[in-house]
Amino acid sequence: MDILKIICSYSGFINVDTQNSTKYFYWFFLKEYYTHLQSTPIIFYIGDGLTSTFLNIFSALGPIQIYWGRYLQNYDSYTNISNIVYVDLPGIGFSITDNMELRTAQDLSFEFYSFI
């Protein structure tokens, strides 16, 4: 079975700061097997600022693993128990901003609050 055909996901950009044109890139994965979706929790996974969160989609936490050029189902994925939204920070991965100055944790928390 082709793993890419059974995984339901959505991705895109959400504008979190119009003054600095800051847009967060996200990739949302629905819980596998789509059972009890209305009562299923959502996990927000935000990177540490050093690496893109999307490395984790294809390594440890996400529903897909890449092994020697093949896509495999990760049976230990967080999507076994919940929906999950991977969010990249600006400067790392696909998120973008016009203001690349070092931002404080408070700045990031306001941006993430806008994202939610």
Q: What is the block-wise mean pLDDT of the chain (116 residues), using blocks of 10 residues?
A: 71 90 90 74 81 74 83 84 88 81 79 89
- What is the reported pLDDT for 59? 73
* Rounded CA Rg of the chain: 15
- The predicted pLDDT at position 15 comes to 93
Q: Domains (ranges, CATH) in the chain?
A: 3-115 (3.40.50.1820)
Residue 14: the pLDDT is 94
Q: Which three-class secondary structure state does DSSP give residue 19? A: coil
Span between the terminal Cα atoms of the chain, in Å: 34
pLDDT value at position 2?
A: 62
Q: What is the pLDDT of residue 85?
A: 93
pTM metric for this prediction: 0.82
